[in-house]
Chains A and B, each alone.
Chain A
């Protein structure tokens, strides 16, 4: 167990809908990262937050947004969902903004029908 928790574990929704994925980092970790894992693209970095502030952006679509709250948990919001958004979404946390040692949560499996 990495200490990173993610909810929900599974999510099934329809195209055009909006969902929110939640992540709680390991105790004491200030950095949160979101990754998308799909069969064809592998693990792709989406966005990083450090102590409540956006730190880095990767291949994140404009339909997606995230935030980190004062208690350090983070939420990833996915809107106007398309079939191609079906994937595993992982949250990771690290103690520092440099993020060399990242601990991954169990993921949320999103299926868009």
Chain B
């Protein structure tokens, strides 16, 4: 019930291509879905987030698509660049006073020049 399942585990994309990472959840109490980007040796950094009342959110080259009925959401990175090479984590959180993020296992993205 508390899990967030993320795929793929790793992804190799050519420069300029589209990177797509998928996540699925079960707990319908989740109402906020952030994506975090983590570079080696660094802490996770908030990239973009979405609430279930919208189907898509775009910030620059990063887009979240959200399918509430399927309980799935995905991150699309357009025009992927070598500097985007990092590990990406989807997460979910349920509203209320307890604010612990539930993370997916992560996707290691490599963008080849």
Binding site for B on A (CB under 8 A): 2, 4, 31, 33, 35, 42-45, 48, 55-56, 58, 90, 92, 94, 96-107
Docked CA distance A91–B101 (Å): 12
Q: How far is the CB of A113 from chain B (nearest CB, A)?
A: 20
Which label, helix, strand, loop or mixed, suits the secondary structure of the B interface?
Answer: loop
Residues of A within 8 A of B101 (CB): 33, 35, 43, 45, 99, 102
Docked CA distance A97–B97 (Å): 5
Stretch from B20-28, B43-51, B75-83 that touches the partner: B43-51
Q: How far is the CB of A66 from chain B (nearest CB, A)?
A: 13
**Is B43 a contact partner of A97 (Cβ separation < 8 A)?**
no
Contact residue among B34, B36, B42, B95 (Cβ-Cβ distance under 8 Å from A98): B95
**Is A56 a contact partner of B100 (Cβ separation < 8 A)?**
yes
Query: Which of A58, A90, A102 has its CB near the most chain B CB atoms (within 10 A)?
Result: A102
Q: Does B69 contact A (CB under 8 A)?
A: no
- How many of chain B's residues have a CB under 8 angstroms from any CB in A? 24
Contact residue among A90, A96, A99, A105 (Cβ-Cβ distance under 8 Å from B100): A99
Query: Which of A31, A35, A98 has its CB near the most chain B CB atoms (within 10 A)?
Result: A98
A98 to chain B: closest residue by CB: B99
Q: Given A45-B100, A48-B98, A96-B99 in contact, is the A102-B46 Cβ separation under 8 Å?
A: yes
**Is A106 a contact partner of B106 (Cβ separation < 8 A)?**
no
Q: Does B93 contact A (CB under 8 A)?
A: yes
Q: How far is the CB of A34 from chain B (nearest CB, A)?
A: 10
Q: How far is the CB of B72 from chain A (nearest CB, A)?
A: 19
Docked CA distance A55–B99 (Å): 9
B93 to chain A: closest residue by CB: A100
Interface residues of B in 87-113 (CB under 8 A from A): 89, 93, 95-106
Q: Given A42-B105, A100-B93 in contact, is the A2-B45 Cβ separation under 8 Å?
A: yes
